[in-house]
Structure 1
Amino acid sequence: MKNAMLDAINGAHIANKIRMERSQHAGSFLVVEGVSDKRFFDWLIDKNKCKIVVAYGRDKALDAFHRLQVPSFDGVLFVIDADFDAIEGRKPPSISVIFTDTHDLETMLLASPAFEKVLLQVGSEEKVDKFRGQYGDLRACLLRCAKHLGYMLWLSRKDRLNLKFEELKFGKFVDEKTLLLDPAEMVKVVANHSQRPDLKNDVLLTRLAALYDDGHDPLHVCCGHHLTEILAFALRKAWGTNDAGAFDGPMVERMLVLAYDEGLFVTTQLYASIRAWESQHPPFIVLRALGTPA
């Protein structure tokens, strides 16, 4: 029922919601893709001057943006995932639409020292040191693993395959000791999980191989939700001993947000772009004066 309700929300619904709420809120609106994005920004916004609206999807957010242009509606900023647009050379359609620095907010978190902080808190020092000695940098291993899934997701978008990546069992194609991913098994598992018996695994592998490019930044290829699920898997197996029943991707994402310092945020292009939007759209404010209590 809950998923059906969310599916019913579209760009028109989001745009109308913002227009109706203007009578009670004279400040800015920050539109984000999902609940995890809202959780990230809740600590950073000026709550007296900005209200967060969740669009429940990138396409819905962009649709709402276009609907709010005619007639023009001031004071609305959209922060959405860069997704694969950086690789494909696409820019945001307006200064009022800001892309994340990397594929999404989760990849930004994982690229920061928040990753090491989480490892220190819930990883096994002995296991982490042993893994690092055998296989090298942990973040690089994580990105190397998730990159294959990122290309698979990109292929699904480009060829409109409608593959399903939610609730994947990563242990079926990721080695729990080495975090090495088997591309052939990944393709098989994703196709089966998506109930697409019509797709030929060898054809998918060939199409994937055509997308691979060492020049692509893995932080733009990898999907953050895939990374956090693989990180949770690693912290239950290769890097830790956490309980499988309670330790999953969403839990890791919450921990990363808690470990992320606002001092890191002010060094990002995302922060600079939000401040630039504020300077060009007075009197609307999104962020609080960072370094002060929320």
Structure 2
Amino acid sequence: MIEYITPERIANSIMQDGTFSGHYLIVEGNKDYKFYNKFVTKEISIEEAWGCEKVKSVIHILKERNYERAIGIIDSDFSVILEEPIDCDGIFVTDFHDIEVMMLKSTALYNILDLYCSKEKIVEFFKDKDALDILMELGIEIGLLKLANKIYNLGLVFKPERPEGNQLKYKEFVSEKDLTFLGKSSMIQTVVNYSRNRTGRVGSIADINEKLNLLAPERYDPAHLVNGHDLTNILFILIKKVLKSTNKMLHDYNSVEDSLILTYDNNEFIKTDLFYKLYLWSRERGVNLFKSELTEQGKVGSCLSVAN
């Protein structure tokens, strides 16, 4: 059970492994493993810590023990919006809220729409609308609720205790007919119902509404406000229910996220600040971090950045 995998246990396992002479990359979970494993060499062993704070703890424990062959990558989450710098040496952070948002803000989004949906359905639905803009507008709504929950401790829960648990019912506040937002009240009620009996105290509807109204959307960068898992759940509704995809590979939001990982390519990754910082770190230390094709492209990008 992942809840019993402590940072100490992970750190001990790393330090006791005398058969591996490379570097360790500590990530939050399985999707992160799949994503970063596309880009790193065999000299890098990726370990899942199952959570942002656990990644930080593993790196901190290893640093305290003078173990220098490990780095971590965590999601930015709300750190930019809340002006909470990640004060931990050896930790790198995603450009946007999480890796899903990074992927959705790339050609991968349009590639999977083409993969799962007919051209006719895509043209009919989007017309003069942009897929990313639609997703972001809907993601902002629940993103603000999550931010309010974090700031004001409203006692809300947005995900199951275990990965296999029941997910939040997005269809109760995002229409399966045309992907319209069914209203703030529907969203709040859905999340309150989902949260009951799972935390010590869930705020009242009135209190949640009040706190949510205090947060103005225009104050925040949407790419740091929206949560990628919300967007992929909404994207699943779009593909499966609105655009009527019959592709047998499409089961749930996990299928969407796996498809994004598969279609997100080197050319997109080397554009990110995350890649550039990791590339500089690896070059300065002589660590063979990235596969050769990325390294060669990274050298070009590095030269261009210096020239500019």
For normalisation by structure 2, the TM-score amounts to 0.86
Q: Does 1:24 align with 2:25?
A: no
- Write the letter of the residue equivalent to 1:287: F
Cα distance, 1:261 vs structure 2: 1.3
Say whether the 8 Å CA contact 2:56–2:88 is kept in structure 1: no
Higher mean C-alpha deviation, range 207-216 or range 33-42: 207-216
What does residue range 90-101 of structure 1 map to in structure 2 within 5 Å? 90-101=84-95
Write the distance in 2 (CA, Å) between the matches of 1:56 and 1:202: 34
Say whether the 8 Å CA contact 2:100–2:228 is kept in structure 1: yes
Q: 2:122 aligns with which of 124, 128, 135?
A: 128
Q: Does 1:105 align with 2:99?
A: yes
Instruction: Quote the residue 1:194 is aligned against.
Output: 195
- Write the letter of the residue equivalent to 1:140: D
Corresponding residue SS for 1:30: strand
Instruction: Quote the residue 2:262 is aligned against.
Output: 258
What does residue range 233-252 of structure 1 map to in structure 2 within 5 Å? 233-242=237-246, 246-252=250-256
202 and 37 in structure 1: CA distance in 2 versus 1, 3 angstrom threshold: same
Corresponding residue SS for 1:240: coil
Instruction: Quote the residue 1:79 is aligned against.
Output: 73
Percent identity, aligned pairs only?
28
Q: Does 1:289 align with 2:289?
A: no
Q: Does 1:145 align with 2:138?
A: yes
239 and 218 in structure 1: CA distance in 2 versus 1, 3 angstrom threshold: farther
Write the distance in 2 (CA, Å) between the matches of 1:65 and 1:137: 40
Write the distance in 2 (CA, Å) between the matches of 1:262 and 1:12: 34
Q: Does 1:13 align with 2:9?
A: yes
Instruction: Quote the residue 1:219 is aligned against.
Output: 223
Cα distance, 1:289 vs structure 2: 1.5
Say whether the 8 Å CA contact 1:236–1:244 is kept in structure 2: no
Corresponding residue SS for 1:68: helix
Say whether the 8 Å CA contact 1:29–1:76 is kept in structure 2: yes
Say whether the 8 Å CA contact 1:142–1:179 is kept in structure 2: no
Cα distance, 1:244 vs structure 2: 9.6
Q: Does 1:36 align with 2:31?
A: yes
Deviations 1:30-58 (A, max 9, x none): 011010010011111111x1100001111
Write the distance in 2 (CA, Å) between the matches of 1:244 and 1:231: 16
- Write the letter of the residue equivalent to 2:150: R
137 and 246 in structure 1: CA distance in 2 versus 1, 3 angstrom threshold: closer
Write the distance in 1 (CA, Å) between the matches of 2:256 and 2:294: 25
Say whether the 8 Å CA contact 1:44–1:290 is kept in structure 2: no
Cα distance, 1:157 vs structure 2: 2.4
Say whether the 8 Å CA contact 2:155–2:202 is kept in structure 1: no
19 and 102 in structure 1: CA distance in 2 versus 1, 3 angstrom threshold: same
Corresponding residue SS for 1:86: coil
Write the distance in 2 (CA, Å) between the matches of 1:201 and 1:255: 37
Write the distance in 1 (CA, Å) between the matches of 2:21 and 2:190: 49
Cα distance, 1:172 vs structure 2: 0.7
Corresponding residue SS for 1:106: helix
Corresponding residue SS for 1:31: strand
Instruction: Quote the residue 2:303 is aligned against.
Output: none
Structure 1 gaps of 5+ residues are none
Instruction: Quote the residue 1:174 is aligned against.
Output: 174
Say whether the 8 Å CA contact 1:122–1:235 is kept in structure 2: yes
CA RMSD, 1 decimal: 2.0
Instruction: Quote the residue 2:63 is aligned against.
Output: 69
Cα distance, 1:156 vs structure 2: 2.4
Higher mean C-alpha deviation, range 114-123 or range 237-246: 237-246
- Write the letter of the residue equivalent to 2:106: S
Corresponding residue SS for 1:79: strand
- Write the letter of the residue equivalent to 1:173: F
Cα distance, 1:212 vs structure 2: 2.7
Structure 2 gaps of 5+ residues are 160-166, 296-308
